[in-house]
Structure 1
Amino acid sequence: MSIYKILFFCTILCFQLSELNAQARFEFSETSHNFGEVLEGSEATHEFHFKNIGNTPLIIRHVRASCGCTTPYWTKDPIPPGKSGSITATYNSKNRPGNFNKSITITSNADEPNKVLSIKGQVIRHPNAIQNPTAAQMALTPLIKIEKQVYELGNVGLGQTIPIVVPIKNEGKSRLTIVNITASCKCVRLAASAKRIFQPGESATTEILFSPTSLGSMDQEVIIESTDLKHPKTSLTIKAAIMENLGDNSIIKNDKTIKF
């Protein structure tokens, strides 16, 4: 065999070995999460963070939950080596009392092509399910106060996400729990790290994520469901002009949290 053929085969072999060594790899900070007690009717959300510790971009092809009660969201763009991404799992506890243990399977080009995450917890009865509460129960109810009802965001980019910090006070005599938030636009949700529990007399903030899905002027009512027996549903309003493209000085491009 000539020296040229030997060099040719060596080159091919090196190329194949290089291809085999080029691999994306997950490194999760955690692969399971226990929500503990979850109020029936609420959505329990947790964000799993990971880093690509491989030497080629990590591409998540699909994320599948073990049941329709769990909705996953994930980083859609390729994650370069050394960069981070996330998988968010939301469990809908409506009409699902009792313990739950669900899995989320990630299909990707990583060295472990099928990675499994898990969430679990116990759904307990919603206190607002009390029929005809007694005078004593009403006297001890938590009382929610939204410190500001209208949030004017100005120009917002379509499909982007704005964190909105909302100040809340519990003026009642027992613990207040934020159960859920809803809107007809389906463009709001509680942040994964949002504060949900407020002790009697406590003033603090929770965080809402606003992700518009249609163009135009918006005057959107957002319903906040809580364990306040007198006012189980209260509201705030988000006003914004949803635009296709924004300049470099927009609140979205600068990725700033909106605080009031």
Structure 2
Amino acid sequence: MKLKTLLIAFMMPALLWAQETTPQSPLQFDSYEWNFGNIDEADGIVTHTFQFVNISKEPVQIENIATSCGCVTAQYPTQPIEGGKYGEITVHLNPARTQGEVFREIEIFTKGRRSYDRLFVFADVNPIPMGLNELYPHQLAGTVKTNSLRCNFGYIAQGETMTRVVSLANVGDKPVNLSIHTTKGYGMSVQYPEVIDAQEIVSIRVTYKISTGKQHFGMTRDTLWIEADGVRSPEPIAVNALRIEKFSENENRPKPVMRIEPAYVEFGSKPPGKNYKKTITIGNTGNSDLVFHDVEACQGTSITLKNGQKIKPGKELKVTVSITNSSSENETTIGSINLTTNDPTRPFRELRLQIDTK
């Protein structure tokens, strides 16, 4: 797409813009964040355009833009931007089913992933007034509903305890006897009332107490099966947490930094029903050993990396990953490999693999 000529007021010196981004990026933006302020969910999508200049002498092509939420989409130039030329990225935020303060990230990758930029948008969303049925859209059992079928804890350090609350609502006109069954596989406990009155909202307290030891790293996967008046829900509420090591609060201590290239492995279009392999590079750009506490290959994937394996500071490791293609034609298979390490900046990383059938 061809870019329109920008206003003269935008053509400020690129050096002023460079203060807000990494020096490796040839794309310098007029701003790196935008606050939409107070908006109403009922008004729908809001839009902002970020403008940029290519301060390098070489053409730069934006290859891909990734957003932290499906509620954010972005339009960007698909043709290379010549050195010294200007461009724009238009970001759309859909506030549907959100409320309160919203923070979203937009990641920009140039061709060959030679550079990387991040933009941020904010908003304070006023939700559409709704009744219990709209606020709690997921049917569980009988007249008991919930506002979410997932309870994500995020990071929990070994030896620590954390509690999250799951909300249930009885949208009926009679009290309901409640019971909850769990998998109890990772030190999870649940507290809940035995009765929910008509039109009442109750809180289910879900608590993780993470044990210490080599076997207590990585992602947990638990479930809550809700039973109302003896009727069990057809699907559970999924509960998960990311178990990591307890890091020192000393910011000056030596620490590893993991780098994965590429972090998203595309195998392209291949004949169906076969296993395909690729080699990736995992490096440690920090100043202490990088330790892999937990390596989990999911969904028909594999990786030649083991629990407890280490990478010395400044070193790299060539690793083979594989994925099994679907046996059906014209399908996309996506797999993931989860890595839990002692990198304090990002101790859990998900490596994504994608392959298409011809």
Interval of TM-score (by shorter of Structure 1 and Structure 2): 0.3 to 0.5
Give the TM-score normalised by structure 2.
0.28
User: Which fold has the larger relative contact order, with Cα–Cα distance below 8 Å and residues 6 or more apart in sequence?
Assistant: 1
- The structure where helix makes up a greater share of residues is 1
Structure with greater proportional strand content? 2
